[in-house]
Amino acid sequence: MRIIFTDHYESMSEEAAKIIAAQLWLKPDSVLGLATGSTPVMLYQKLIHLYETVGLDFSQATSFNLDEYVGLSPNDEQSYHRFMHENLFDHVNIRNERIFFPDGLADDAAAEGMRYEKAIEAAGGIDLQLLGIGRNAHIGFNEPADCFTRTTHKVALKGNTIAANARFFASEKDVPREAMSMGIGTIFQARHILLLASGAEKAQAVKDTWEGTITPAVPASILQLHPHVTLIVDREAGSLLTAKGKELA
């Protein structure tokens, strides 16, 4: 496991962009697992800049998004489908037929989960999975629970997750209560996992993830067992870490 400390959100985003760009330069047909939320916004801006200035090529890449709200259409302004198009896909040369999302409107959530798993398998598996982390250490929408969920599934969102996401909606009551999410097992199968955290409100989750007990009550803690994880934090998010071998960027 590798930890990279950065001074602030922008430098965290810059380091993450370098890793994703290197992945695409070394393997142009990479399968990327991508995340939404506020954490990767500047990372996506920097990837767009690399596309525009040095020709970072997305044309052979495939993307699978971590999650999508249940009940929101792809055109809904708060859907993750729309988020990804507005923040990345519409600004680079990725092909629409290589972009995949779990379907938040599927009538049969179990069947949709199986469909998504088969699509990832058919693509050859995920080469690099990008993750943010919630204040309760959720990754994707895998909330604290009694066990780790293996595959793509429908999840009921915890109150603190709903409250945290309310800033993107007109009010908290407008936040969907369910989502489709890759499971912990799906995430864990990625060949390289890139975990980003920014801000003091993420510090305890980062410490519990990296240095605490491995438990489904701290979903991201399972990443301690993955052979290739890179954690990039700014100073605030990494302020409680005591682990040796830190890198400075």
Q: Return the pLDDT at 233.
A: 97
Tokens describing residue 35: 């995340």
| pLDDT tens-place string over residues 135-167 | 999 999 899 989 998 999 999 887 878 888 777
DSSP code of residue 229: E
Q: Return the pLDDT at 160.
A: 77
Tokens describing residue 203: 């510090």
Q: Which of 103, 127, 143, 236 is catalytic?
A: 143
Q: Which of 15, 103, 112, 138 is catalytic?
A: 138
What is the rounded CA–CA span in Å between residue 44 and residue 30?
17
pTM, 2 dp = 0.92
Strand partners, 99: 63
Q: Which of 15, 65, 67, 112 is catalytic?
A: 67
Domains of the chain: 2-248 (3.40.50.1360)
H helices present in the chain, as ranges: 9-26, 41-54, 80-87, 109-122, 159-165, 184-188, 203-211
**197 close to 132: Cβ distance less than 8 angstroms:** yes
For residue 244, name the pLDDT band (cuts at 50, 70, 90): very low
Contacts of 159 by beta carbon, 8 Å cutoff, 6+ apart: none
The stretch 223-238 carries a mean pLDDT of 96
- Judged against a pLDDT cut of 90, whether residue 93 lies above it is answered with yes
- Judged against a pLDDT cut of 60, whether residue 224 lies above it is answered with yes
The stretch 201-227 carries a mean pLDDT of 96
Please confirm, yes or no, whether 67 is among the known catalytic residues: yes
Please confirm, yes or no, whether 138 is among the known catalytic residues: yes
Q: Which of 15, 65, 81, 136 is catalytic?
A: 136
Residue 123 CB neighbours (<10 A) = 16
Q: Which of left, alpha, beta for 55 (phi over 0: left; psi -120 to 50: alpha)?
A: left
- Judged against a pLDDT cut of 90, whether residue 246 lies above it is answered with no
